[in-house]
Amino acid sequence: MAIVHQTTLTPSKLELLEAWLPTRRWYRGTTPRLSKAGGFRLDDPDGVVGIEFLLLIDDSATGPQLYHVPLTYRGAPLHGADEGLVGTMEHGVLGRRWAYDATRDPVAVNAVVDLLAGRATAQAQNYSDTVDSSVEVRRVDVPDNSVQPLDTDTHTDLPVSSELTLRIHRLPVDPLPDAVGAVAAPYVLAGVRRSVVEIVSVRTRATAPEENQV
């Protein structure tokens, strides 16, 4: 169970991401001006890595843009993941924390796999030991394999097998139609727009492109 500390972060998560987002292929603005829009957490079974799925609104462009930025927080650098490093922060309780793009962190990818398989439960973003009931999951078994992330202009794909891809949507919309015209309704973003936002999907080569959402 992850413990959410009510303490200081220097720089803050938003400050860290305002410097990092312009380096991403899928970022559509110029100079980010971010506000928190929602999100949730997943637990690391070993209790070492913090895993958070952030929904952020950037109002620096011509109109507000919603971004999905999953992060992990570690007490030491993750070997071989320099490309995924977002930056470091000083945590008021835990000391220095290394923040990573969660699509580059195997602990986070495995946690998503466990969530989709029903072995894990989404946790509240701001409270310890609290289930987030706004996260709706259509369960599916996903292989627990190492993957090579692939960024595009709108999403990051994590191919977990020759037939199955975990897709992290970086620019979720409200609502997001799938390739055959249906509307996915997997994650309820409460408190801002009461939006329905797809942030993760599972895609197969053999069936319809939209199999599962988180």
Q: Is residue 190 within 8 Å of 183, Cβ to Cβ? A: no
The reported pLDDT for the residue numbered 214 is: 55
User: Can you tell me the distance from the alpha carbon of 187 to that of 66, in angstroms, rounded to the nearest whole number?
Assistant: 14
pTM of the model: 0.84
Residue, of 75 and 184, whose pLDDT is higher: 75
When pLDDT is cut at 50, 70 and 90, the band that residue 1 belongs to is: low
Kindly write down the DSSP assignment for every residue of 130-187, as one continuous string: -B-TTB--------------EE-SSEEEEE-SSSEEEEEESS--SSEE-TTS-EE--B
Six-digit token string for 153: 């202009």
The reported pLDDT for the residue numbered 160 is: 86
When pLDDT is cut at 50, 70 and 90, the band that residue 212 belongs to is: low
| Residue 209 in this model has a pLDDT that exceeds 50 | no
When pLDDT is cut at 50, 70 and 90, the band that residue 196 belongs to is: low
Q: Is residue 194 within 8 Å of 184, Cβ to Cβ? A: no
Q: Each residue of 129-188: pLDDT tens digit? A: 888 888 888 788 888 887 789 999 999 999 988 888 888 999 886 544 444 443 333 443
Neighbour-count burial of 37, counting CB atoms closer than 10 A to its CB (0-12 exposed, 13-18 middle, 19+ buried): buried
Q: Is residue 21 within 8 Å of 79, Cβ to Cβ? A: no
Q: Where are the domains of the chain?
A: 9-204
Longest dimension (CA), the chain: 49
Task: Determine the average pLDDT of the residues in 99-122.
Answer: 93
The residue with tokens 């969530």 is: 115
**% pLDDT > 90, the chain:** 44
User: Can you tell me the distance from the alpha carbon of 168 to that of 199, in angstroms, rounded to the nearest whole number?
Assistant: 6
The reported pLDDT for the residue numbered 11 is: 93
Neighbouring residues of 99: CB distance < 8 A, sequence distance ≥ 6: 13, 16, 71, 72, 73, 74, 85, 86, 87, 88, 89
User: Can you tell me the distance from the alpha carbon of 185 to that of 11, in angstroms, rounded to the nearest whole number?
Assistant: 34
